Amino acid sequence: MRSTMTILFFFMAIMLIQAQTNPELVVIEMPVITISVCKKEVREQFLKRVDKLKTEVADEISRRKADAKKSQKGFDEQAAKNMSNQAGYPVSDADMQKMKKASKEEKQAMAMAMMNQNMNMPVDEAKKAGKMSKEGQAAYGEAMSSEMMAGAQANPDKNKAANKNNMSMAEMAMEQSQLVQKIQLKSQKFDEQLIEFNKLKEKNRIVYDSCLSKVEREYANKENHTLGDEYYESIKLQKETCYQTYCGFLTPKYASILLERFNTIVALGDDYNRMDVLENELSSATAGSKKQISEPGLKYLEALMDYIVHLEELP
């Protein structure tokens, strides 16, 4: 009995994993443009596949974002509390709850009390500083900074852990910025290619429309004649020839641009996933928690989604 239940749970787990769309599966399922999409039946089937995959990916992105939003709850206040604690101004959970429900005046009063407690600054002195001129506030701030630096030098180990954590966060933020620049640089070529292709598409669309107009004019000149079904089939065939010329010229060029873009996205897959990891780690470090906000793969899926949209825009 136990063996049967184990097998059942195993298959249920597999079904659950398969029900979720991950980037690697999307890559495998991605439709490929070929010259045959110029045929009506093939084009319709291709666009159906694209639409189906687009729906699956959109649903998965929405699910992941909804899960991330749920995980984000409580993170902001926890981050504020953690940053305050690291700066040497401890805030209790009770204080955080009071802050959430307090009025503007009550929040100011609580802030004043915290300054008095943690910075040895009397409330009256803080109020007085708030009424000073800009020059007076600058001088007062400089004096306070000197005092705090002197305190830090006298007790160098006090903020050692916080400084180490801040350095780690700075390194992660730097890596995150470098990845963003790398991805933008790789994407720039595709954007430029797409602009040039659209210009070419507009020129050829004029030629295509001119071809159709010519066929229609010929039809108009002969419409008073009774030429039977063969004539109408001939008109239809001539219009189809116009389209095949237009589509046959543009499709290979568009397919080549998209294939290069697809290969670039796949090559950047690890970078997209790393960005999700860094985002989680930065949020966790800020909040002083090991809780994961978003599931790695979201940014990769969003990049693939952008590619899928371009698959719909066939010549």
* pLDDT tens digits, 231-252: 778 888 999 999 999 999 999 9
Last residue of a domain, one of 156, 180, 211: 156
Domain boundary among 113, 134, 156: 156
Question: Residue 297 — pLDDT band, cuts 50, 70, 90?
Answer: very high
Average pLDDT, the chain: 77
* 33 and 120 inside one domain: no
| pLDDT (mean) for 173-193 | 94
Contact 178, 271 (CB under 8 A): no
Question: What is the total count of domains within the chain?
Answer: 2
Same domain assignment for residues 197 and 63: yes
- The alpha-carbon radius of gyration of the chain (Å, integer) is 32
- The verdict on residue 15 lying in a domain is no
Same domain as 117, residue 196: no
114 plus 255 within the same structural domain: no
Q: Is the pLDDT of residue 115 over 60?
A: no
Q: Is residue 4 part of a domain?
A: no
In a domain, 61, yes or no: yes
Neighbours of 284 (CB within 10 A): 17
What is the mean pLDDT of the segment spanning 139-163? 56
Of the candidates 256, 165, 183, 245, which has an alpha carbon nearest to the alpha carbon of residue 209? 245
pLDDT at site 126 = 52
Do 170 and 152 sit in the same domain of this protein? no
Domain ends where: 108, 137, 156?
Answer: 156
Please give the torsion angle defined by the CA atoms of residues 183, 188, 189 and 192, in that order, rounded to the nearest 10 degrees.
160
- Mean of pLDDT values over 151-163: 55
Question: Which has the higher per-residue pLDDT, 17 or 114?
Answer: 114
* Whether residue 173 sits in one domain with residue 150: no
Does this model's pTM top 0.85? My answer is no
Q: Helical H runs in the chain?
A: 2-19, 23-29, 40-72, 75-86, 93-101, 104-118, 123-130, 134-154, 160-222, 229-267, 269-287, 298-311
Q: Taking 70 as the threshold, does the pLDDT of residue 26 lie above it?
A: yes
Instruction: Examine residue 78 and state whether it is found in any structural domain, yes or no.
Output: no
Top pLDDT among 245 and 20 is at 245
141 & 208 share domain = no
Do 172 and 292 belong to one domain? yes
Burial 50-65 (b: 16+ CB within 10 A, else e): beebbeebeebbeebe
User: What would the pLDDT profile of 40-84 be if each residue is shown by its tens digit?
Assistant: 999 999 999 999 999 999 999 999 999 888 877 655 555 455 555
Can you give the residue range of the structural domain that contains 107?
Answer: 90-156
Q: Identify whether 231 is part of a domain.
A: yes
User: Measuring CA to CA, which residue among 278, 284, 276 is closest to residue 75?
Assistant: 284
Only one residue has tokens 């429309």, namely: 209
pLDDT band at 13 (very low <50, low <70, confident <90, very high): very low
